[in-house]
Amino acid sequence: MAQRMLACTGCHGPQGRAASDGYHPRIAGKPAGYLHRQLRAFRDGQRRYALMGTLLAPLDDAYLRDIAAHFAALDLPHAAPAPVRADAATLRRGEQLARRGDPALGVPACSDCHGGAFVGAGDDLPGLLGLPVDYLNAQLGAWRSGTRQADAPDCMAQIARRLAPQDLNAVSHWLAAQPVPAMPRPAAPAAALPLRCGSLGGSR
């Protein structure tokens, strides 16, 4: 399987550890359920990136699950965070959004879904640490603009649209500045999420 996945690691780095360009994220160790949903979304056009769409177009769901399982099983060390590129006020706002959200805007904390340590929850909610700031900003911006979509109700799109661009930038910078714990283990999924998320069945 590792030999077959060279088509993936050419962009996502050796063993899926992430590329150095800041835009191709780490996929090693991501939850299998999450990876499978993203592969399906690229194949089916919910996420739009021509190279991914072309690579995945001929593959059926069973093979996408095999790919997801392969990368999910890789337990590899994380690199240290890149140097911080934001001022103190930006980082404070980012930490507020990540840890406490903004009730006035109807925005839950990132930790409410992605775990208190931001390393994911269960088999479906990915960790947010160990990702480059440019990638985080690009994905939040894509949800805000509608170029990245998930099954309705699209909870991440709702959150991104409630936040101003400077808030998205703030939370991206704060998350990217946090080190990944030595042994990151996903938290147990919450019994109820703060927003309904269609990609998780719509009821959580």
pLDDT tens per residue across span 134-160: 999 999 999 999 989 888 999 999 999
Could you tell me which of 9, 22, 13 has the C-alpha nearest to residue 55?
A: 9
Q: Residue 201's pLDDT is what?
A: 66
pLDDT tens per residue across span 32-67: 999 999 999 999 998 989 999 999 999 999 999 999
Residue 119 neighbours by CB under 8 Å, 6+ apart: 127, 128, 129, 180, 181, 184, 185, 186, 187
* Domains 6-72 and 88-200 fall in the same CATH topology: yes
What's the CA gap between 47 and 146, in Å, rounded? 10
Domain 88-200 coded CATH 2.40.50.140: no
The CATH-assigned architecture of domain 6-72 is Orthogonal Bundle (1.10)
Q: Is the pTM of this model over 0.95?
A: no
Per-domain residue ranges of the chain: 6-72, 88-200
Average pLDDT, the chain: 93
The mean pLDDT value for 19-33 works out to 89
What's the CA gap between 35 and 26, in Å, rounded? 11
